Amino acid sequence: MIIIGVDPGTIITGFGIIKYENSKLNYLYSGIIKTPSTKEIPPRLESIYDELQRLISNYNPTQFAIETVFYNNNIQSILKIGYVRGIALLAAQKCKLEICEYSPREVKKSVVGNGAASKEQVQFMVKKLLNLQNDFPKFDESDALAIATCHAFKKDSLSHKSGSWKKFVEANPDKVL
């Protein structure tokens, strides 16, 4: 299965595309969608929507995973992230993708084993799990790949009786620290 993970943001939206087959994770593509903060929200949302549609069209994922909104004291920030989540969900729905949402804590727990892991720890594990050498310019990109990886593990654990971590470790002994 091909999964696109999205870390929504109004200025920077991260995306990560992976393939998951036979308990093996394979990196396909990732990056960020950067919109100018000087622009109004509607054209920025349009840019994010158009880019997600282009990525979906180019990589043909069947699964779409997105991070839920986390609690923040800034209501305006929560609303704006909600806008991005809405257009990202619309892009996935229009392309008939299976959509799943995960909390930041759930993503961290799935990828790092600790729901309170730092962004640096998440980034390290994403690089290790996907066998990547390069650093990511922004945490938004590694977070999106972590969301896609979390989805792969969750889908795998639902379809198998054994835990996804155990199965992954058995299939990938070279990735164990």
**If residue 63 lies in a helix (H) or strand (E), which one and from where to where?**
strand 63-67
- Contact present, 91 and 56 (Cβ < 8 Å): yes
What is the 3 state secondary structure string of 107-151? HHHHHHCCCCCCHHHHHHHHHHHCCCCCCCCCHHHHHHHHHHHHH
Pairwise CA distance, residues 50 & 68, whole Å: 21
156 is catalytic: no
Q: How far is CA 4 from CA 54, 65, 72, in A?
A: 12, 6, 25
Residue 88 forms beta bridges with which residues? none
67 is catalytic: yes
Pairwise CA distance, residues 98 & 3, whole Å: 9
- Choosing from 21, 40, 50, 67, which is the catalytic residue? 67
At 79, the amino acid letter reads: L
7 is catalytic: yes
Residues ≥6 apart with Cβ < 8 Å to 174: none
Catalytic residues: 7, 67, 140
